[in-house]
Structure 1
Amino acid sequence: MDEKLMSYQVGDKIEIFVLLKAAEVRTAKNNKRYIAFTFEDSSGEMGGMYWDASEQDIETFKAGKVVHLIGKREEYQSKPQIKISQLRTPNVGEPSDPGQFVTRAPMKKSEMVDEINQVMFEITNPTWNRLTRFLINKHQADFFDFPAAKTNHHAFEGGLAFHTISILRLAHSVCNQYPNVNAPLLYAAAILHDLGKTVELSDPITTQYTVAGNLIGHISLIDGELVEACQTLKLDPSSEDVILLRHMILAHHGLLEYGSPVRPQVLEAEILHDLDELDASIMAIQTSLDHTEPGEFSERLFGMDNRRFFEFEGTKNHEQDTKKPEN
């Protein structure tokens, strides 16, 4: 019973406790209802269909609950999935705490808090520093717990802060390489660019889009909060410093069709967009390759134009070679 969800291979029988990360009730062509599940434990997540779901099934197996799953790992359209044989709720004394089954960032929360706080001292422009501190403090409880997305990349507890820190580390490298880049502007925007996801998304366990997330989106949400913060802090929202910071956030998706109301028109905005894309892409590919055997192709990645990525033997060997010896 110590097996993890992602350790099972195609054809293996699965018997394990897992979290129902998502449970979407749908209707099949025969007008019978079924539940599209996303199962999760600390190793990752995998989908499965529960056919001919009764009213009691729909009421019992809701997102956020821990269940005992028996089934078989299969593959459908190059994606792993589970053929469900049996599903039940835990008995007394069996695992039932959802927090034991979520995937988490590879950094401790305290470490992420410390790293963000250290970067704050590098934001030497008073306007950018005050706005960044104000908004991070306002959303701190969720910022360090929420994922960076529902799916695709950094979709785990703490993923939002970890994604932000990854971009900040890349930004430091860029600023060291190109001294003329305005580092304080880039760092402030990197910290704030996805902060609206604390409003766009519901929670770190059964992550869904909120009404505000669906109707407004995280870019516009945090831009609105920036303007409100200016009023609270008695800053001029029409000043160049504020306009530049707002532009950085509004343009960070790069293209209008990707949700940005404007395209990057200052150097630092283009850099932030590029670093955001780079980190998201690397994380999405790495996450998939973590569950891909050497010599095989990964599942198709929706966020990467449905491409599959090849896991070669040298990758695993390189990971072993670069690991630091334990003390």
Structure 2
Amino acid sequence: MDNPTDLTAWLSLEWFMPSSWKAFTWENPAFLWGIGAVPLLFLFRWLWRYRFNQKLPVAMTQKDLHVSPLTLFRLLPEFLLMFAMVFICVALARPQRTNEKVEQWTEGIDIMIGLDISQSMEISDLVPNRLEAAKDVARNFISGRLQDRIGIVVFSGDAFSLAPLTTDYDLLKSYLNEINFEMIETRGTAIGSALGVVTNRMSESEAKSKVCILLSDGDNNGGNIDPITAAELAAAYGIKIYTIVVGKEGQVPAGKDFFGRPIMMDNTVDETTMRKIAKIGGGEFFRATDNKALSQVFTRIDQFEKAEIKETRFKDTYDYYFVYLQWAVLCFLLWLAMKSTFLSNVLQD
């Protein structure tokens, strides 16, 4: 719609369209009842005049009686006055339009995901195996974050930073897709080394909250840094550590033989070390023995580590009462002009 502050924009008939009125909010909606009262007032006025105005009997023959459309013009001044009063009611109701803009932001959290890619993560007690199940829930976790910087560290017998802290979630997901068991040649599970790399990556972070999610089968047997010492160092830098042990203990499937039968092997899990790491890091320890449990663990961590979302609202309110006030003045001036014309008086008489 045209800007009503323009000199001629108020003349547009679009101001009377239902779509325009639906877009309005009304500061004084009670005056809208006057729109319905105005026609009733004029109807009462016409009935009063018809009943009590002086009438002069005139004798005329039937052939002298003619009905002409011109006689309807005598009603035009009355309608102009009626519309002027209707427009005054609309103006008094004060139609407005409000444009609301909402800005959301958060200070964000720095999160490093430490992902075990040792050979034991190839065990298929989770579907299709432990590593792929972990990658899947990690992708979902990343998708649910807002403005948080996230990085990835992978480890087996050694550890390295796969992705630095970033808000490019598509890039992180592409890195997750490329993770495989051949990325690190050194065999074993170096949990201490992984925590060391995480601490190095987050040591210069100025985020209000720094979090490490360490996911492994829990049996540290590699690297040259003691996991407990590495956890204490991470805690000194204000890094909260959540530890997740994936997989079952005892007999677990480790592939299939030539005939398609599952090959079972013994699996042990060092929960004690992972529990100590979580306690030192001020986080929590979790155990996930299947895909559903692993997904629930990441959901819980997602709920724990939510940054406060701040919101600012801007409202721009525009008044449009003067549009209808100008129409009221126009109708009133036309009523004054036509009321005083010779034609109107003749038709009225």
TM-score normalized by structure 1?
A: 0.26
Whose relative contact order is higher, 1 or 2, with alpha carbons under 8 Å and at least 6 apart?
Answer: 2
TM-score normalized by structure 2?
A: 0.24
